[in-house]
Amino acid sequence: MSTLFNWNETFLTGLPAIDHQHQRLVELINDLGELVMSSDAIDTDAFAFARDALLDYVGSHFSGEEALMEKACLDRRHLEQHRAAHHAFTQEALVLGESGQGITADRARELVDFLVNWLAYHILGVDQSMARQMRAIESGQTPQTAYDEDLGHTQARTEPLLAALSGLFQLVSERNRALRALNQELDERVRQRTAELERANQQLHVLSIRDDLTALPNRRFAISALDELWREARHNSTPLSVLMLDADRFKQVNDTFGHATGDAILRALATRLQDAVRTSDIVCRLGGDEFLVICPRSPRDGATQVAEKILASRAPFHAEDGTECWNGAISIGVAEVQDNMMRPEDLLRAADDALYIAKRQGGAQASDG
C-alpha cells in the first residue's frame, strides 16, 4: 500500500540529529497508518502498541529538542511557543488515542490524520524556524534579532505546508473514493487549526512581554529592548542611558497594609512613571517594586532630567479611608553607556550600583552611576 507520510528533503532542517529523529517519527506514524489503512477492522492491541511506541518516542524527541534550543540560547519567545506546541500535540494525541475498551476505525483514522497533519506543519513551520534561528545565532546575531527576522519567513512556510497537506489528502482518496467528499472538510480543518495556532502564538508573544499587574513591558521585554538599543548605540556611536528605580520602604507597605494595597500602589506608580517620562523613553517593570526606564539616544544629562521629573511627581498614596499607606518616595540610579562597558549587563549594573548609593543616602533621590 502507499506510504501515508512520504519523507523528502523538504522536511530537512539541516540539524542532523533532529532530522534523524524526524525520520524516525515519520516511520512510526507510517507504522500506525498501515495498521489503520490496511483493514476496516482495527487490531486494538497492535494499534495500542504502535501508538504507545510513537508517543514514547515523541516525549523523548521533544525533551531533546527543547534541551537543544536552550543550549543554543534561542529567544525565549520562540522557546515558549515551541514548548506550547509540543504540549498541545502531546495532550491532543493522548485524548485522541484513548482506547478504553477498544478503538474504532474512525477514531484511529482521526488520530493518524492528526499526527500526519501536525507533524508536517510542525516540521515545516516551527522546527524550520528553530533551525534558521540557530544558524543565525551561530553567525553572530542575537537571539532576539534572529527571532524577529525569522518572522518574515511565515509566507515562505505556507506553500510547502499546503503542498504536504495536499499530498496527504490524495493518499487518503486513493484508499477509498467515498472519502473524497471529506477532503475539503479536512482541508478547512487544517487551515482553521493553523490559524488558531498562529493566534495562540501571537497571544503567547503578547503575554510573554507584558507584566500582568501593571500592564507595563516586563523584564523579558526590557532585556530584549536594551540589547537591541545597546547594539544600535555601539554601531552609531549614539548615547544610551537607563534609570533603575525602586520604591522606598515598600516592604513596610505590604507588611502593614497587605499585598492588595501594595499591588494598587505599584499600578499607581507605573502610571506615575509613564506620565513623567518622555515619549521616547521605555518604562518597564523588572519585578517587585523595581522598575527600569530605558532612555534611547539620551546622554546622562537627559536621563538625569527625567529622573528629576519623576522625583518631582512624588505624591503620597492613600487608602480608601484616607490613611496614608506610602509617602511616594523612590530612589533612582542613573547610568549611561561608557567605553569600558562590554555588555548591556554592565550598564544595568552601573545603574543598580547608583541606585544602591541613593538608597544608602536615605532614598527619595537620584544618584549617578
Which CATH number do you get for residue 333? 3.30.70.270
Task: Report yes or no on 4 lying in a domain.
Answer: no
- Tell me the three cell numbers of residue 196: 488558531
The pLDDT value recorded for residue 151 is 75
Task: Report yes or no on 2 lying in a domain.
Answer: no
- Is 339 found in the same domain as 313? yes
- Is 253 found in the same domain as 184? no
73 and 147 Cβ atoms separated by less than 8 Å:
no
Task: Report yes or no on 1 lying in a domain.
Answer: no
Residue pLDDT tens, the chain, 369 long = 456 677 888 888 899 989 898 888 888 888 877 777 766 667 778 877 888 888 888 888 899 999 999 999 999 999 998 898 888 777 767 765 555 445 667 767 777 777 777 777 778 778 888 999 999 999 999 999 999 888 776 555 554 554 454 444 444 434 434 444 455 566 677 677 767 667 766 665 555 688 999 999 999 999 999 999 999 999 999 999 999 999 999 999 988 999 999 999 999 999 999 999 999 999 999 999 999 999 999 999 999 999 999 999 999 999 888 889 999 999 999 999 999 999 999 999 999 999 999 999 999 999 996
CB atoms within 10 A of CB 60: 12
- Is 134 found in the same domain as 102? yes
Rg of the chain's alpha carbons, rounded to an integer?
Answer: 27
Show which of 157, 191, 209 is a domain's final residue.
Answer: 209
Q: Which domain holds residue 148?
A: 9-209
SS3 290: strand
- Is 259 found in the same domain as 178? no
**How many distinct structural domains can be found in the chain?**
2
d(CA 60, CA 43): 26
The pLDDT value recorded for residue 174 is 46
Q: Which residue reads 532585556 in cell numbers?
A: 223
- Is 362 found in the same domain as 272? yes
Task: Report yes or no on 342 lying in a domain.
Answer: yes
d(CA 347, CA 337): 6
At 22, which CATH number? 1.20.120.50
- Catalytic residue numbers, as ranges: 289
Beta strands in the chain (DSSP E): 240-247, 282-287, 290-296, 317-318, 324-326, 330-336, 366-368
CB atoms within 10 A of CB 36: 22
Buried b (16+ CB within 10 A) or exposed e, 184-217: eebeeebeeebeebeeebeebbeebbbbeebebb
Task: Report yes or no on 39 lying in a domain.
Answer: yes
d(CA 279, CA 92): 45
d(CA 322, CA 48): 67
The pLDDT value recorded for residue 102 is 56
- Is 240 found in the same domain as 115? no
d(CA 57, CA 130): 20
d(CA 361, CA 356): 9
pTM: 0.47
- Is 144 found in the same domain as 27? yes
- Is 275 found in the same domain as 146? no
32 and 46 Cβ atoms separated by less than 8 Å:
no
111 and 92 Cβ atoms separated by less than 8 Å:
no
* Pairing of the two strands 366-368 and 330-336: parallel
- Is 161 found in the same domain as 293? no
118 and 89 Cβ atoms separated by less than 8 Å:
yes
- Is 224 found in the same domain as 143? no
Q: Based on the number of CB atoms within 10 Å of its own CB, is 10 exposed (0-12), middle (13-18) or buried (19 or more)?
A: middle
Count of residues making up the chain:
369
Nearest 5°: CA angle at 172, between 169 and 175? Answer: 150
DSSP H or E stretch at residue 308: helix 300-312
- Is 182 found in the same domain as 284? no
- Is 252 found in the same domain as 117? no
Task: Report yes or no on 3 lying in a domain.
Answer: no
Task: Report yes or no on 214 lying in a domain.
Answer: no
Show which of 183, 209, 235 is a domain's final residue.
Answer: 209
